[in-house]
Amino acid sequence: MPVEKILDPALAGRLEKYRLVRTRPVPDGYAGGRRSPRKGGAVEFADYREYAPGDEPRRVDWKAYARLGRLYVKEYLDEKQDAVLFIIDTSASMDWGLNDEHKGHNALRLAAGLGTCVLAGSDRLAVVAGSGSALGNAEGNPGQSVVQNRQSMRVLAPASGRQSLPQLWQWLRETVFTGGTDLPGCLRKGLQLQPGTTSLYVFSDLLDPTGVDDLLRLAAGQSVTVTLLHILAPGELEPPGEGEWTMVDAETGERVEVSLTPAALADYSARLNNYIASLETSCRRWNARRVQLNTAGVLADMLLRELPKAGVLRN
């Protein structure tokens, strides 16, 4: 995919004014622009407490002392970076869809858009793009930020700041789709890459419900907030119509002859609804959220309308 097609410059400029929505305070970490539960030296006032020996005199509220005759110290909320991890499903099932409806390309463009929000907001971003099992250590020069291991997995080392945007976009451009699905393995790799990750965003068609549940359980155990960006093509949401079809599993190559009758289409619709319901059950169990996106939509609308409406982005 040409790098200019990853993200239109005008859209990228608009997205720099958006931030990912986070509902929980950020734990201690790098200095940045997110609220931490630890009280420290940021400009946002938190509370008063009584003076104790050793407190800095500059923190004393002298006006309160003049009124009350007692020493009180101002406390402030410390500002910290959010440590964000993206997982991009690069399994063969994502290599599907015609032209702008291609699931994989939409995943890359959405990652470019949300990544722009992260890096422009001074948070830290790491990315794992992978399929299959992630075994062994990553290969390559330790001084390089882009590494590929032996198992169809690529990682982009943690970065922050607008200056990292060209590297992110170029890295996404080089992504290919092949193999099976291993979302839990990608998460384990990501947590090794960026210890202390606070927020996880998964770009996938989620066609492995068991793997999704395993990923959510692993993330919950690490106190990581999860957003599943569920990317589906129009043909998956509504099959092309009645007739005789040869279905090919993109990941295994298995071929199945199918006769799509009205009854078969109704059964498919019911199975699809049950599948989505099972994903929602997993999300409720592990306190995650799922946002379904149709690749027939326009990228700018997804990023500037659908995701803010779903509570993923804010201006």
Q: Quick one: pLDDT at residue 138? A: 41
Task: List pLDDT tens digits, range 122-166.
Answer: 789 999 999 874 343 444 444 444 444 345 889 999 998 889 999
Return the half-sphere exposure (C-beta side, CA atoms, 13 A cut-off) of residue 108. Answer: 29
Q: Quick one: pLDDT at residue 45? A: 54
Q: Specify the fold of 3-22+82-233+291-314.
A: Rossmann fold (3.40.50)
Contact of 233 with 96, CB cutoff 8 Å: yes
Distance between CA atoms of 144 and 204, rounded to whole angstroms? 27
Q: Quick one: pLDDT at residue 133? A: 45
pTM of the model: 0.76
Q: Quick one: pLDDT at residue 40? A: 47
Q: Quick one: pLDDT at residue 70? A: 85
Return the half-sphere exposure (C-beta side, CA atoms, 13 A cut-off) of residue 126. Answer: 26
Distance between CA atoms of 48 and 61, rounded to whole angstroms? 9
Residue 125: what residue type? L
Domain ranges of the chain: 3-22+82-233+291-314, 31-80
Contact of 65 with 36, CB cutoff 8 Å: no
Element containing residue 258 per DSSP (H, E):
strand 255-260
Mean pLDDT for each 10-residue chunk of the chain (315 residues)?
74 93 58 49 56 72 85 62 92 91 96 95 92 48 41 88 93 92 94 94 94 96 96 90 67 72 87 95 96 96 96 92
Return the half-sphere exposure (C-beta side, CA atoms, 13 A cut-off) of residue 177. Answer: 23
